[in-house]
Amino acid sequence: MGEIDFDDKQYQAAVARGNAERLDRPIPVSVRYEAKPGRIVVEFESGASFMVPTSALQGLAKADPHDLAQVELLGETGLHWPSLDIDFTIASLMQGVFGTASFMEAQRKGGQSRSPEKTAAARRNGLRGGRPRKSS
């Protein structure tokens, strides 16, 4: 494939678009892994924080805590675990996207399973009066 040539006008327009987009999103300044609660914490320039449990992220649920602690910022848009070769964009994590579409679908279906054990447990609970009624 050939190289793409940009003239100065196109380059300046791209830089202006990038700067405008940057103003519309929070700027991360640090990221860390908190082992005890098992979560990743992203701190932003504004003082706000975003936390996500590692158990919910594709490829991180069973990762070694030492590897999880190696998380680093990828510029202003992503998170990277070098030893695990795993990347996530901060924007997608903030939108609840914790993996590929098939991973997310499997996670969603997990709570909807209809195993014989789950059915039997529901019946046992029903014999005890079922779910308590909500008080008004």
The side-by-side arrangement of strands in the sheet containing 78-81 is 72-74, 78-81, 86-89
CATH number at residue 80: 3.30.2020.40
- Count of other CB atoms within 10 angstroms of residue 63: 19
Positions of E strands within the chain:
28-34, 39-44, 49-53, 72-74, 78-81, 86-89
- Residue span of the structural domain in which 32 resides: 18-100
- The answer to the question of residue 133 being in a domain is no
Please report the pLDDT score of residue 109 as a whole number.
66
Strand 86-89 with 78-81, pairing: antiparallel
Domain count of the fold of the chain: 1
In tens, the pLDDT along 7-64 reads 889 989 988 888 888 777 889 999 999 999 999 999 999 999 999 999 999 999 999 9
- Quick one: tokens of 108? 């969603």
In tens, the pLDDT along 49-82 reads 999 999 999 999 999 999 999 999 998 889 999 9
- The answer to the question of residue 134 being in a domain is no
In tens, the pLDDT along 79-132 reads 999 999 999 999 999 988 888 777 777 777 666 667 788 778 878 888 887 777
- The answer to the question of residue 57 being in a domain is yes
- The answer to the question of residue 39 being in a domain is yes
Residue 40: partners with Cβ closer than 8 Å, 6 or more residues away: 31, 32, 33, 34, 51, 52, 54, 57, 68, 71, 79
- The answer to the question of residue 130 being in a domain is no
Please report the pLDDT score of residue 38 as a whole number.
95
- The answer to the question of residue 11 being in a domain is no
- The answer to the question of residue 131 being in a domain is no
The side-by-side arrangement of strands in the sheet containing 28-34 is 28-34, 39-44, 49-53
- The answer to the question of residue 3 being in a domain is no
